[in-house]
Chains A and B, each alone.
Chain A
């Protein structure tokens, strides 16, 4: 069974710092890896999706990398802001084409950015 681990579980930093969130997965036979953001009392918002054939994806201040063979991904947040405060979830898809759409999630990293 696929297991996804996220480190650290929680992170509190001052505004302006560059951050790295880590995700690891036990089965490297993935189809894609996704990073989501969850605000309190809300659902999940997709941030970045990396296909298994890709090494990284970028969106604004966010950059996600994927090392499929070693079962690792990192989410890099540049110049953090208080609005970045949320829980960040990593998930991997194992079924090609998302036919079954099964995502395996980590427990998340709870990020607090203070002014």
Chain B
């Protein structure tokens, strides 16, 4: 149990579908992150929500839309995805201002048909 829970664990969707990934952290942290892990690239940061500020990687396509309603919950809304978006999506949380490591969830394995 890492304190960071992601649902669903697996998701298969067509390119025209709309779905959302969910992440919840029970650690009292004040920052949350979305990462993408694909076979062809190193683990890559997509979005950060820190103290209600959103920071994004400029290379992330607009078909990925994050939402952070509070410090404990983070969503990643997906629409009109492409086959190359198939990957493991990892959520993490941390305490801004500390020098402690980020805590990761077990990820959502996403497959685009």
Show the binding face of A for B, using Cβ within 8 Å. Answer: 4, 31-32, 34, 36, 41-46, 49, 51, 89, 91, 97-108
CB-defined A-B contacts under 8 Å, sample of 17: A32-B99, A36-B101, A43-B6, A43-B106, A44-B90, A45-B104, A49-B99, A51-B99, A97-B97, A98-B31, A98-B97, A99-B97, A100-B48, A103-B102, A105-B43, A105-B44, A106-B42
Chain B residues whose CB sits within 8 angstroms of the CB of A107 once the complex forms: 42
Q: A49-B100, A98-B98 are in contact. Are A43 and B45 (CB under 8 A)?
A: no
Contact yes or no, A41 B101, CB < 8 A: no
Q: Which of B43, B96, B99, B102 contacts A99 (CB 8 A)?
A: B96
Q: A45-B2, A89-B43 are in contact. Are A102 and B104 (CB under 8 A)?
A: no
Report Cα–Cα, A44/B35, bound state, in Å: 11
Report Cα–Cα, A110/B100, bound state, in Å: 25
Q: Which of B50, B103, B109 contacts A100 (CB 8 A)?
A: B50
Show the binding face of B for A, using Cβ within 8 Å. Answer: 2, 4, 6, 31, 33, 42-45, 48, 50, 55, 90, 92, 94, 96-107, 109
Chain B residues whose CB sits within 8 angstroms of the CB of A91 once the complex forms: 43
CB-CB nearest in chain B for A4: B42
Chain B residues whose CB sits within 8 angstroms of the CB of A32 once the complex forms: 99
Chain A residues whose CB sits within 8 angstroms of the CB of B99 once the complex forms: 31-32, 49, 51, 97-98
Contact yes or no, B42 A43, CB < 8 A: no
Contact yes or no, B104 A101, CB < 8 A: no
A91 to chain B, nearest CB (A): 8
Report Cα–Cα, A39/B105, bound state, in Å: 12
Report Cα–Cα, A74/B107, bound state, in Å: 27
